[in-house]
Structure 1
Amino acid sequence: METRSFADYLRTLDDAALISLFSHRPDLITPVPPDVASLAVRASSAPSLARAIDALNAWQYQVLEACAIAAEPFTEKTMAALTDKAALFVIPGLLERGLIYQGKDGFYLPTTVREVLGNEIQGLGPQTVVKLNLKKLDEAPPAAQKALEAMVWGPPRGTVADVKKPGAGVAWLLENNFVVAANTKTVLLVREVALALRGGKLHKELQVQEPTLKTEKRDLKSVQLAAIANITTFLRWTEEILNFWAQEPADTLRSGGLGVRDLKVLSAHLGVDTSCAAFIAEVSYLAGLVTIDADDRILPTTQFDIWLMQTPSARWQSLVSPWLITSRVSGLVGKDESKNVAPLGPELDRVSAAPIRKLVLRLLSENPSVAPEFNSFAALATWHMPAKRSNGIPTDYLQWALRESEWLGITGQGVISKYGLELLAGGELESINEDLPKPVDHILIQSDHTAIAPGPLEHEIAQELAILAEIESRGGATVYRFSEATIRRGLDHGRSGDEIKAFLKKTSKTPMPQPLEYLIADVAKKHGKLRVGNTSAFIRCEDASLIAQIMNDKRLDLLSLRQIAPEVLICQHDAGDAMNILRSFGYLPAGEDSQGALLSGPRIQRAKTKARPPRIIGEFERPDEIQLEGALRALRTGEKSSHRQSTMRNIAANALGSLPRTTANETLDILADYLQNQPATSLSIGYADNNGLVSHRIIDPLKLSAGSLVARDHATGEVQSFRIARITGVAAI
């Protein structure tokens, strides 16, 4: 078969070549095209070509540029002359990706490739339409040589005051057609002259070999210890942030996302900087552990409770897996040029995020046991993904990917860990469960209202301590601090003072200090003496002196309190706001319902709506072998069907003139005769639609039924019913 077009070339490819094409460019089978002609259109479209070109390394990109400036059809010899002999090893890869294709007399490019590469490929201007005497370049006057030197390696444009009155050098170049006028103030160096001055080479410097990566050797044991510590820490961070939001949900911004103030509160609670807190929140959001509910509050989902019951390896994998494929970039939060970008907000998507992240991890996995030096790592990453259309990989994206890999424990001390390698290989990750320190079931209470957890605590103990104390410092051991506010929080959650003491005595390996017992007893005694409910809010207290103290407290003027009884005050604030204001000034109120019952009990909140993880933008996953083979079968079947339909249309068109016009009765008699005497004959019929337009069909008649003909339509392969009254004529094929 002679190759006349890109579609013809695709039709000549065998199954292995098509599977290779689909593997390199999965967007071509998402969804599977109906036939090869549709595949050719999709493969030649600018978006698909842009994705394929962005996946090339620097050397492949340079060879493709050479293909784009060469006259078609071009040969391997032409490519070697424009670049280097090593280009011969790149051309098969470009063929596999459908970026060039082979004809009878050489290679061609799909028409849109040049458009995607840009107008001035590698700084070259337009081709000339006149014959040039390039030998005269040796005779160029000094002014002309200076102009040529400025334009030879691009950009090919030069500015003049007036092209009709140029200087001596430009005038000589215009006279010899070495430059052409683009407008009254701009001249362009023609392509043939630039290539001649470059010595027939397209690029000033070829990037045949990838840059050398500078590295530092790390002790493997130290790497694994650092990685498992990072995993432990990140799991603890995630649990802490969701427990925090379960008790004190954050409100979202109008535009969506977490506000700066709430982010700083979260950062202070975790003891990390805001960029790390934003990343933890984002990963929880991606994993479906947190969502924004109908009231615009950020709350943990019921999935969080399931997550807490899973093994550490399953919990870690559920966090890392969506991070690998997401198009969201949490590193943008807090940057000066992106002031309106917020965690969990809609502005974090970047198309190149996931490919850059995967490239970083691939390069790290190809260089195990060593920590890369960043500048050389950035140069290597840029060689693998030059992304010329977007001016290369942003350095920040590489730094963020490396930083986030360290936070997650994919790397330790800058080196990819065994857990990261297992993750990328699709392993079970059981080594995480084996290597994590075993949880402890006790704490050590100190005399200064603190308690030390000598390791990761068992889940139930950790959850209880999260209510009764604040984390003061983290590390191999966690330090918790008890205070009036934390004890009050435990009482608000339904614990009594005696229950708090019993829990701490049971859990602590050291005796409970007397000052802590006094603190718990004192707070428990005061708790609930003052009560707040809704009127908008009422405040009730049996202690008249406390009522008098509140009424005389100038700090509480903002509540606009009014005394309606010796033991009752009312205000226009909501009960929750009133309690928060009273607590902020040292009072210890408790909630009360309309029946006077004390509202204390667990205040752990969950979102009522299902998790809505953010969408992923701009990514096509590489299909597996089953998907590739299924797409190939569908394409081959569709191509056969399209070919058959085209053949049937030609046959029907040829039969157009031979179809006799018949009445309904005549048509019925003819069809009955064919069914009785020649049942295996295919027929061409004219069939009128509702508007009276006649189309021609190729059919296999099956039977006559109630004024209709039941037949198999060759074009669709389906059995259809044709009304006799609408059949305008019948002829045998």
Structure 2
Amino acid sequence: MPATSLADWLRSASDDELAALLQARRDLATPPPSDSTVLATRAGTAGSAARALEDLDTFTLGVLDALLVADADTQPVPLAPVAELVGADPAPALAKLRARAIAWGDDDALRVLPVTREIVGPYPAGLGASVPELAGFDLAELTDEERGVLGALASGPPIGRSRDAAVEIPLEQAKTPVQRLLARGLLLRRNNDTVELPRELGIALRGGRAVSPNAVEEPPLPTNPHSQSTVDEAAAGEAAEFLRQLESLLTLWSEQPPPVLKAGGLGVRELRKAAKELDVDDARATLLAELAVGAGLVADSGSTTPEWVPTTLTDSWLASAPGQRWLILAQAWLELPRLPGLAGQRDAKDKPMAPLSDDLRRPLAPVNRRRVLESLEELPPGSGVKSVDELVAVLAWRAPRRGGRLRDETVRWTMAEASVLGMVALGGLTTAAKALLVENRSGALEAMAEAMPAPIDHVLVQADLTVVAPGPLEPELATEIKTVADVESAGHATVYRITEGTVRRALDAGRTADELHGLFRARSATPVPQSLTYLIDDVARRHGRLRGGAAASFLRCDDEVLLAEVLGNPVAGEYELRKIAPTVLVSPAPLAEVLDGLRAGGFAPAAEDAAGRVLDLRPNGRRIPARPKQTRRVMAEPTGASAEQLESVIAHLRAGDRAATRRRGAEVRLPAGGGGSDTSATMALLARATREQREVWIGFVDSHGTASQRIVTPAHVGGGVLMSTDDQRFPLHRITSAALVED
């Protein structure tokens, strides 16, 4: 069989084949290789070859294993024994291996990169060392016990541990199955407690194959058919709920920003507090926190006692339409270089990884996230996978070496996160998500806005003083209802509870009793219960009789008896209240604190401005300046070289190959940087080549400092530049040597 080196095989490849190789293995083209020998050397390095194997499917890797079992890394092997080991046609897999220069050669002399054995490991295909004498061994000679021992090792790895390997025992004295197998040479003894199954027996126990039959074909991916509109509407409901939960988180952290841990991140206590307030599990709370920070809505305050505080972007996000709010979060999730699913797991030091900490950072997370979504995009419109585990199996078959130990978990986390975000529903990809994957932001916004339920303009007031919102409320109505009622339960239908305290809160915010009556009369689709009318009137009757202002603060009341009651209460001493007029009290404490103290003491004061109007002193929540967001455009795969760039690299490679194979005459070598006493000789040689139209062999250093050899035909020499007949320019100071090419 003729033996061909990888460099020779690359040298004989067509330009299209080289272009395909450089696209599949982009690292080989940077910097441009000077010739095929350099290209072959790069292709054979461990790091480059390992990257080339990452995108290969299980069957292709199985064919590579079979080639290694046949020792194609040390000698050429024919295709026939490889096909026998695979048990299927290896041609499609061989085409992929050849396209990546992992394997090369004709079918009668196949070779693979020697470094692949180091990458794959010591036991390719899970088979042990070869013992040729065992070829053709009749498995019927084994007892059931012996066959059970060998069968346990046959699926790989072929190494097992047994105390029976400690001492070599003759066959006639062997008592256990392992001792008998060792004595007959059917197991190899590696050390005092380790045995190894020979390759030939492993293949025989697998039915003559090195590759499992399950590895030949991609696992099926059962799907459920749905209409695309059904998927979109189901996802929109989940998206609306997620937006509501994030809004609640921003409100909570505006009032009570959680501290940043010393090591960075969010503490377990604060996470669980947020989860309890939002009525979600820890995983959902983690995702909400990660996206709030990822979208720039929350940031580390950076103070001496740092806290996680909403930024000024929060206000504009809250004021946006639901579709726009979703788009900001979905884009942030797609580009998030972190894995929220890692939160709570143990790191290498057995410490739990905290949300928002650097432990969760994974730069390749956006790539893997898109890979999962793009696999769903391949399904018919509206179709959804029946089981996430089946999707995990398919993606694991397509690229088993990609993703490391978190490969399968990343798929599960991605599907779970995409579902709660409204990018996936019923196992299928939404129209909005499909648009977002191709960077069509306006299309994604339009699709989500269309799928989300239309805001409703009414509520249902119940006799038990609850208010039911049967869907998302119009922004103005939602604000009014939140002012006068608290959320009791959330979901697709939100239930609010009206109490004396919530009515007082609305009055504190400047609403009047008539305005509250008008709100419920106009917006309730059910009759307003009399109990609500009485509650509003009763609270309003007592509200605002006692009024305060900033003196630091003052209290005034036309009822002197009520002021006397205040002065007789312990709250008067706590806030140093004193009478300065029959109807006025003052305090050195801030007005908000005085009013809170009076309310705790059973009074119902209200704040007023200079004109006597009711003033809302409730804090709006803390805000810190938003930080400039770095624009990230993370694609599923790095973009390859353009056709023009590949053409230039291949031309450079071909020129180097020609220079390496042509004979050259007497060489003129220049000192570093050219010039000096050799300049005249070089100019003379190049001038002669120009007159005679002779090819010249030159040594050249490009602008990257990479040395190469070229063969050119000079067209003109002058002005410190050599111009070739194919319009290439070579500065003379970069030419290190030159010689005429001998015919």
TM-score > 0.5, shorter chain as reference: yes
Question: 1:672 and 1:339 mapped to 2: Cα distance?
Answer: 68
The answer to whether the 8 A contact 2:368-2:636 is kept is no
Question: How much does 1:82 deviate?
Answer: 0.3
Counterpart in 2 of 1:595? none
Cα pair distance change 1:318/1:60, threshold 3 Å: farther
How far does residue 303 in structure 1 lie from its aligned partner after superposition? 4.2
- Deviations along 1:180-217, one digit per CA (max 9) or x if unpaired, are 44234434333244335545321354432333445555
The partner residue of 1:232 within 225, 240, 248 is 240
Q: Counterpart in 1 of 2:84? A: 81
Q: Hey, what does 2:209 align to over in structure 1? A: 201
SS state of the match for residue 471, structure 1? strand
Q: Using the alignment, how far apart are the partners of 1:214 and 1:672 within structure 2?
A: 71
Instruction: Choose which of 132, 138, 156 in structure 1 pairs with 2:158.
Output: 156
Determine the structure 2 residue equivalent to 1:457. 473
Residue 59 of structure 1: CA displacement? Answer: 2.6
Distance 1:547 1:40, change over 3 A: farther
CA contact (8 A) 1:541 1:547 kept: no
Alpha-carbon distance in 2 for matches of 1:522, 1:678? 110
> Residue 68 of structure 2 corresponds to which residue in structure 1?
68
Corresponding residue for residue 189 of structure 1: 197
Residue of 268, 283, 287 corresponding to 1:260: 268
> In the alignment, which residue of structure 2 is the partner of 1:369?
383
How far did residue 408 of structure 1 move?
2.0
- Render the CA deviation track for 1:463-513: whole Å, top value 9, x for unaligned: 565566432233444334455666777788xx4354x97488468525783
Report deviation, 1:70: 1.8
Shift of 1:149: 4.9
1:126 aligns with 2:125: no
- Aligned-pair CA distance for 1:15: 4.9
3-state SS of 2:455 partner:
coil
Residues 127-176 of structure 1 show CA distances to partners (whole Å, capped at 9, x for unaligned) of 45xx6364676796869777655544444335355655335267886677
For 1:608, the aligned partner's letter is: P
Separation in structure 1 between the aligned mates of residue 54 and residue 546 of structure 2, nearest angstrom = 67
Q: Deviations over 1:639-664 (max 9, x none)?
A: 4686699899x9799435x99xxx98
Partners of 2:127 and 2:157 within 8 A in 1: yes
Aligned match of 2:352:
340
Contact 2:667 2:737 in 1 (8 A): no
Aligned residue type for 1:280? L
User: 455, 475, 487: which one pairs with 1:439?
Assistant: 455
- Aligned residue-pair number: 677
Match of 2:293 among 274, 285, 292: 285
Equivalent residues of 1:27, 1:620 under 8 A apart:
no
Secondary structure of the 1:210 match is coil
State the shift of 1:685 in Å. Answer: 12
- Identify which of 515, 536, 557 aligns with 2:535: 515
Counterpart code for 2:449: N
CA contact (8 A) 1:132 1:177 kept: no
Q: Structure 2 vs 1, CA of residues 196 and 374 (structure 1 numbering), >3 Å: closer, same or farther? A: closer
Give the residue type in structure 1 aligned to 2:59.
Answer: W
Other structure's SS at 1:251 match:
coil
* TM-score of the superposed pair, with normalisation by structure 1: 0.72
CA distance in 2, matches of 1:640, 1:504: 86
Q: How many angstroms apart in 2 are the aligned matches of 1:157 and 1:290?
A: 52
Tell me which residue corresponds to 1:383.
397
Identity level (%): 28
Read off the aligned partner of 2:61 and give its amino acid letter.
Y
Aligned twin of 2:620:
603
Q: Deviation of residue 81 (structure 1)?
A: 0.3
Alpha-carbon distance in structure 2 between the residues aligned to 1:194 and 1:602: 74
Q: Aligned partners of 1:474, 1:375: CA distance in 2, in Å?
A: 31
Gaps of 5+ in 2: 557-562, 580-584, 609-614, 700-708
Q: CA deviation at 1:372?
A: 0.2
Query: Are the counterparts in 1 of residues 544 and 604 from structure 2 also a CA contact under 8 Å?
Result: no
Partner of residue 402, structure 1? 415
Conserved 8 A contact 1:382-1:392 = no
Task: Please state whether the residue corresponding to 1:278 is helix, strand or coil.
Answer: helix
CA distance in structure 2 between the partners assigned to 1:638 and 1:287 by the alignment:
45
Structure 1 stretch 677-686 or stretch 365-374: which is displaced more? 677-686
Deviations 1:702-729 (A, max 9, x none): 46xxxxxx56699x9664779xxxx999
**Counterpart code for 2:421:** L
**Aligned equivalents of 1:620 and 1:489: distance in 2?**
49
User: Structure 2: how far apart are the matches of 1:272 and 1:386?
Assistant: 34
Query: For residue 120 of structure 2, what is the aligned residue in structure 1?
Result: 117
For residues 505 and 216 of structure 2, the distance between their equivalents in structure 1, rounded to whole angstroms, comes to: 65
- Kindly indicate whether the alpha-carbon contact (under 8 Å) linking 1:6 and 1:40 is maintained by their aligned counterparts in 2: yes
| Matching of residues 130-149 of structure 1 within 5 Å | 132=133, 134=135, 148-149=150-151
Call closer, same or farther: CA 1:481–1:404 in 2, change over 3 Å. same
Residues of 2 paired with 1:491 and 1:91: CA distance? 78
Shift of the 206–442 alpha-carbon distance from structure 1 to 2, 3 Å rule, reads closer
Measure, in 1, the Cα distance between the counterparts of 2:491 and 2:588.
Answer: 47
**What's the secondary structure of 2:359's corresponding residue?**
coil
Aligned to 2:510: 496
Q: Does the 8 Å CA contact 1:282/1:330 hold for their aligned counterparts?
A: yes
Q: Secondary structure at the match of 1:85?
A: coil
Partners of 2:5 and 2:232 lie apart in 1 by: 55
Choose from 303, 309, 320 the match for 2:330.
320
Residue 226 of structure 1 and its aligned partner are, at CA, apart by 1.8
Are the structure 2 counterparts of residues 462 and 178 from structure 1 closer, same or farther at C-alpha, using a change threshold of 3 Å? Answer: same
Q: 2:310 aligns with which of 276, 295, 300?
A: 300
Q: Please, which moves more after superposition, 250-259 or 327-336?
A: 327-336
**Structure 2: distance between partners of 1:528 and 1:68:** 87
Q: Report the alpha carbon displacement of residue 340 of structure 1 after superposing the two structures with TM.
A: 2.6
Partner SS state of residue 218, structure 2: coil
Change (3 A) 1:702 1:376: closer
Tell me the distance in 2 between the aligned counterparts of 1:405 and 1:199: 43
One-letter amino acid of the counterpart of residue 369, structure 1: S
- The alpha-carbon distance between structure 1 residues 231 and 84, as it changes in their structure 2 partners (threshold 3 A), is same
- For 1:707, the equivalent position in structure 2 comes to none
Q: Give the conservation status (yes or no) of the 8 Å contact 2:339–2:362.
A: yes
Distance 1:680 1:487, change over 3 A: farther
Report deviation, 1:576.
10
- TM-aligned CA distance change 1:549 to 1:329, over 3 Å: farther
Counterpart-to-counterpart distance in 2, 1:346 and 1:590: 47
- Assess if the C-alpha contact under 8 Å between 1:218 and 1:371 holds in 2: no
Q: What does residue range 503-652 of structure 1 map to in structure 2 within 5 Å?
A: 505=518, 508-510=522-524, 513-516=533-536, 518-519=538-539, 522=542, 546=566, 549-550=569-570, 600=617, 603-610=620-627, 621-623=636-638, 627-629=641-643, 631-633=645-647, 635-636=649-650, 639=653
Structure 2 distance, partners of 1:502, 1:652, is: 102
Q: Is the 8 A contact 1:15 1:632 kept in 2?
A: no
Note the aligned Cα RMSD (angstroms): 5.5
Question: In structure 2, do the counterparts of structure 1 residues 563 and 432 end up closer, same or farther at CA, with 3 Å as the change threshold?
Answer: closer
* Partner SS, residue 200 of structure 1: coil
Partners of 2:656 and 2:500 in 1: how far apart? 78
DSSP 3-state at the match of 2:271? helix
Q: What is the DSSP-based 3-state SS (H/G/I as helix, E as strand, rest coil) of the residue aligned with 1:291?
A: strand
* C-alpha distance after superposition, 1:107-126 (max 9, x if no partner): 22223322222212233122
Q: TM-score, normalised by structure 2?
A: 0.71
- Residue equivalent to 1:692: none
Partner of 1:558: none
